[in-house]
Amino acid sequence: MEAFENLMILIPIISILELLSIVFSILFMHYSAKHRNHQLSVGWYICGFLFGIWTLIVFLIKRKDFPGPKTKVCYQCGRKFPDSFQMCSNCLIDLPVINEEQKKKDGKLTKIFGTAVIVTIVAALITGILSGFLFAKEIMEDPDFGFLDEDNRIAVGGVFYDKKGNSYDEWDKVILYDKDNRTYTYTIEEPENAEDDLFAIPDYYYIRDDGEKYFTYDCYVSEDGWFYCDKGGLLELVSEDTSAMSEEELNEYYNSLLEADSEYKYYDYAYKDKNAKIYYSADEASWNEKGELITAENDVVK
């Protein structure tokens, strides 16, 4: 789990770098505008906090329209004049005096915060790429985190069994049966546009021997091991009533779940019908070589 721990350290670092880049962007815009004899409106600062780098991009595009460090602007009519002019020819009022020392200071701060923006953005990108690498490494290599390679069912001696004791080398090949002895096969169907759409999601079915399809999220196995379809959504999640528990009892209850010593410890969830009969998700149900459904009360996993 070392890669995962490093990933957890990098995530807040990325957040801090992103926040710093926003702050530095706002300071850069402020001193850059000031250096060019232009006063930013409050809207620029608000947009800077809300949209970050996008506001900076717009600012850089608009900055060419600002007066310039050697340009005087009439407060009354807004006309621009070279720094040698002392009076506005249109309004006949004195033009503002350019403070050369302040302009140098503003120019220097513009460069400092501009550099800080670039450094923090690049650092955030590098850290983000590293985080993605660590996340991919954790998934591919760490058995505690590699859920993509995890079998849904429980193997007994490296073999998966069905209700009739037939053996399979892969969990998704296990056949399910109903009380009428019909068979159900796990199937994944890719959407027609899968090649063109990177985000296309496949459909997961159990297909009956006559071709009838059932979405996996509607499929369950009863306590006695028979296939059951809950299209009406009548099953309810089995859960403990914790409303009357004390804090100590709650801690003990949640610890028991973490230690996986509850009655249904081999399943993510158990469900019940109105008669309190128990069901398990069809793609999690597991049997031993005798065709017995594996539960905590029937622990045959070694």
% of the chain at pLDDT higher than 70: 81
The answer to the question of residue 154 being in a domain is no
Of the candidate ranges 14-18, 138-142, 166-170, 252-256, the one whose mean pLDDT is the lowest = 138-142
- Residues 188, 64 share a domain: no
- Residues 185, 104 share a domain: no
Burial class (CB in 10 A: 0-12, 13-18, 19+), 85: middle
Of the candidate ranges 121-130, 144-153, 289-298, the one whose mean pLDDT is the lowest = 144-153
Q: Is the pLDDT of residue 261 over 50?
A: no
% of the chain at pLDDT higher than 90: 30
**Is the model more confident about 257 or about 156?**
156
Q: Is the pLDDT of residue 28 over 70?
A: yes
* Backbone phi, psi, residue 136, to 5°: -65, -40
User: Domain containing 193: what range?
Assistant: 160-298
Count of domains for the chain: 2
Average pLDDT over the chain, rounded to whole?
A: 81
Cβ count near 47 (within 10 Å): 18
The answer to the question of residue 155 being in a domain is no
Q: Is the pLDDT of residue 65 over 80?
A: no
Q: b/e per residue, 164-184, with b = 16+ CB within 10 A?
A: eeeeeeebeebbbbeeeeebb
Burial class (CB in 10 A: 0-12, 13-18, 19+), 230: middle
Q: Dihedral through CA 48, CA 51, CA 56, CA 61, nearest 10?
A: -120
**Mean pLDDT across 51-76:** 81
Four-residue CA torsion sign, 263, 267, 269, 274? negative
Closest CA to 24 of 62, 55, 66: 55
Q: Is the pLDDT of residue 293 over 60?
A: yes
- Residues 223, 140 share a domain: no
Angle among Cα 245, 249, 251 to the nearest 5 degrees reads: 120
Which pTM value belongs to this model? 0.48
